[in-house]
């Protein structure tokens, strides 16, 4: 039976995260949950998740604001290092707003006997991926805008506009190019990779320490970091360009839409194993339906 190491990076809604964990849980799998921004709500998270803590479930409270910043990458690397001495076949990363749309049995059967990684990837620059096809992400160093941070607390509701959201960072041209003659690759931040791919990543980073330093100030590095390393490696031929997620994007292609009961037909007919994003406060009925349908198989 395939053994899976799950990495969950979560930011909000303990109730929904608990539901996700309960539906993924099995005694033979591993679960690493990193809760971001939990300083003021740590007790709420602990109360909600404490029943799930087991020998194979690990809850970590680490890192603050992570949107479009390196802590998203670092938290994933933390979980990979944490699982190094555990036996498992596949490493799967999810957010707190992801949800399985196939049963655990179907997910394990899919990965059975396979040695491929499943990860969306494309060469950068890519038409439509930002003003310069994504190159602006690595040509500049991005720093938090202190004025934006101040006004976020002062007039938070007003700052929800997309126009002001782009002012969250100050960007300065980088003096150094992407190191080690790497060609940049981008793609979804969510993937399913084997332990062999994880081991390669960790060994590579142990030898190439400058790479983490370079990506620390990259914009949304979780959509570049892992693809760039693996697609420049000898493992490239073992990577299938499919992250096994169903995501419905907004019209401008910038953000994933919140899935509701109206998406039921697309979700139930999708060959994907997981979907995002869901919000239990917006529509819980779609999660109820998915639970019923998964239990039928």
Q: What is the pLDDT of residues 190-215, one digit of tens each?
A: 999 999 999 999 999 999 989 999 99
User: Please, which residues bridge with residue 9 across strands?
Assistant: 34, 95
Q: Is residue 188 part of a domain?
A: no
How many domains does the chain divide into?
A: 1
Burial of 202 (0-12, 13-18, 19+ CB in 10 A): middle
Bridge-based pairing state of the strands 57-61 and 185-186? unpaired
Q: Is residue 99 part of a domain?
A: yes
Q: Is residue 222 part of a domain?
A: no
Cα distances (Å, whole numbers) of residue 44 to 12, 236, 280: 11, 43, 17
pLDDT, position 42? 86
Half-sphere exposure of 203 toward its Cβ, with a 13 Å CA cutoff? Answer: 8
- Terminal CA-to-CA distance of the chain, rounded, Å? 17
* CB-CB contact of 135 with 184 (8 Å): yes
pLDDT, position 54? 86
Query: Would you state the structure tokens that stand for residue 263, as one six-digit string?
Result: 């998406």
Average pLDDT over residues 1-8: 97
Q: Is residue 168 part of a domain?
A: no
- Taking residue 132's Cβ as centre, other Cβ atoms within 10 Å add up to 12
Q: What is the pLDDT of residues 15-31, one digit of tens each?
A: 999 999 999 999 999 99
* CB-CB contact of 256 with 249 (8 Å): yes
Average pLDDT over residues 147-167: 50
Q: Is residue 59 part of a domain?
A: yes
Q: Is residue 275 part of a domain?
A: yes
Length of the chain: 297
Q: What is the domain extent for residue 276?
A: 4-114+244-295
pTM passes above 0.85:
yes
Q: What is the pLDDT of residues 59-115, one digit of tens each?
A: 999 998 788 999 999 999 999 999 999 999 999 999 999 999 999 999 999 999 999
Q: Is residue 134 part of a domain?
A: no
- Helix, strand, or coil here: 169? strand
User: Residue 283 pLDDT > 50, yes or no?
Assistant: yes
Q: Is residue 280 part of a domain?
A: yes
For residue 34, say if its preceding peptide bond is cis, omega within 30 degrees of 0: no
């Amino acid at each position: 039976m395939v053994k899976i190491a799950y990495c969950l990076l979560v930011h909000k809604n303990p109730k929904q995260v608990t539901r996700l964990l309960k539906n993924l849980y099995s005694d033979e799998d591993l679960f690493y949950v990193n809760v971001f921004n939990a300083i003021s709500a740590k007790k709420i998270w602990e109360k909600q998740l404490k029943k799930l803590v087991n020998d194979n479930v690990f809850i970590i409270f680490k890192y603050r604001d992570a949107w479009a910043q390196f802590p998203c990458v670092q938290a994933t690397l933390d979980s990979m290092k944490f699982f190094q001495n555990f036996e498992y076949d596949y490493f799967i990363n999810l957010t707190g707003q992801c949800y399985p749309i196939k049963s655990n049995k179907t997910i394990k059967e899919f990965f059975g006997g396979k040695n491929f990684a499943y990860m969306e990837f494309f060469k950068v620059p890519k038409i439509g991926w930002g003003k310069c096809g994504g190159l602006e992400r690595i040509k500049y160093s991005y720093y938090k805008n202190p004025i934006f941070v101040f006004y976020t607390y002062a007039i938070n509701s007003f700052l929800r506009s997309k126009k002001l959201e782009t002012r969250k960072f100050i960007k300065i041209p980088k003096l150094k190019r992407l190191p080690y003659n790497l060609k940049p690759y981008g793609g979804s931040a969510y993937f399913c990779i084997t332990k062999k791919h994880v081991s390669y990543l960790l060994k590579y980073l142990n030898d190439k320490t400058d790479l983490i330093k370079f990506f620390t100030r990259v914009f949304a590095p979780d959509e570049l970091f892992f693809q760039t390393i693996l697609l420049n490696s000898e493992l490239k031929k073992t990577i299938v360009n499919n992250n096994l997620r169903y995501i419905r994007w907004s019209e401008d292609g910038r953000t994933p839409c919140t899935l509701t009961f109206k998406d039921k037909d697309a979700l139930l007919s999708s060959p994907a194993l997981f979907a995002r994003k869901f919000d239990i406060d917006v529509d819980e009925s779609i999660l109820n339906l998915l639970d019923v349908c998964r239990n039928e198989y």
